[in-house]
Amino acid sequence: MQDSDTLKKPIIPSKLITEKFTIELGAQEPWPNDVKLYQPYEVEQILLPDNANCLAVQAFLRMCQLHYDVEPRANAEDMSPTGKVPFIKCGAFVVSELEGIVQFVNNRGITLTDKLDNEAKSDMRAYMCLVHNVLEKAELYICWMDKETYNDVTSIRHGSVYPWPLNHIQNWSKRRSVMKNLKVWNWYDKTLEEVFQEVENACQALSDRLDDKEYFFGSHPTELDALVFGHLFTILTTPLPNNSFANIARKYPLLINLIQKIEKKYFKKETKHEYQ
C-alpha cells in the first residue's frame, strides 16, 4: 500500500519535462552560423499569408542580428512541427512560427523587449493577436474564399509544385482545411466587404498605436514591428485580382513609413515599391 505522501505527489507529464530540458539546453548554446529558415518557394509557390509570416520571422531575426539562410522547400508546411511556416533549424532544434521562434531566441538571452515593462509587453501581445486574428484571417479568406483570387492566383501557385492530378487534390484538401478553420473563427460567412472593413479597423488601431513614434514602443523595434512589417509589406507588394487589400493599407501613412523604414534598415534596400 502506498503512503499518503506518495499519493499527493503531482505527476509531471514527460512531454513537459522534455520541452523544458530542450529549451534550457538550447539556451546554453551560442547561435550557430548555419541556421536554416524553411519556407515554400517564394517565386512560384508561396501564398500571401505564408509569405507574410515568413517575412515577419526574417525581420525579427534581422532585428536581433541573428544570421540565417533561407531554405525553400516545396513541402515546408509538411516538414514543420506545427504544420505552419516558417520554421527554423538551429543546431539540433526545430522551432516554428514567430511566437515560438521569439521564445526560443529569448531563452538564449536575446530579446527586443528588455526595456518594456509588463504593461507594455501585455499591450504588445494584444496587438500581435490583432494582427493574427484580423490580417492573417483576412489573407486566408481572400486567398481561398474569393473565387477570382483562388482561380487566378491561389490554385495555380499552391498546386505548382505538384504533378497532375496531385495538384488538384492538394488544392482541394488545403481549401477544405482553410474553410473549416474559417467556420470555426466565424469568418466563413463574412462578405468580402465585411472582411475589408475588419482590415480597415485593424489598420486604424495599429496606426493609432504607432502614432508619431519611430516604432510601436518607442525608438527600438519589437516583434510586433516585425509582425506588422511582414503582413503589411506582403499585402502592399503582392499582386491580386482585387487590390482593395493594398488600397486600405495605403490610407495609413504612418504604417507605410514604418514599412519603408524597416525594409531599408533591416533588409538594406532602398524602397522601390509603389506603396503610395
* pLDDT greater than 80 at residue 68: yes
Cβ proximity of 148 and 241 under 8 Å? yes
> How confident is the model over 181-240, as pLDDT tens digits?
999 999 999 999 999 999 999 999 999 999 999 999 999 999 999 999 999 999 999 999
Output the pLDDT for position 274.
56
Query: pLDDT tier at 130 (50, 70, 90 boundaries)?
Result: very high
Averaged pLDDT of the chain: 91
Output the pLDDT for position 29.
75
pTM listed for this prediction: 0.89
Query: pLDDT tier at 273 (50, 70, 90 boundaries)?
Result: low
Q: Can you tell me the distance from the alpha carbon of 19 to that of 16, in angstroms, rounded to the nearest whole number?
A: 5
Output the pLDDT for position 7.
39
Residue 244: partners with Cβ closer than 8 Å, 6 or more residues away: 192, 196
Going along the chain from its start, the domains and CATH numbers come out as 4-106 (3.40.30.10), 118-266 (1.20.1050)
Least confident of 45-54, 213-222, 265-274: 265-274
* pLDDT greater than 90 at residue 2: no
3-state SS track over 181-196: HHHHCCCCCCCHHHHH
Stretch 44-69: mean pLDDT? 98
Stretch 79-105: mean pLDDT? 97
> How confident is the model over 3-44, as pLDDT tens digits?
444 334 444 444 444 445 444 555 567 899 999 999 999 999
Packed helices 98-106 and 14-27: angle between N→C axes, nearest 10 degrees:
60
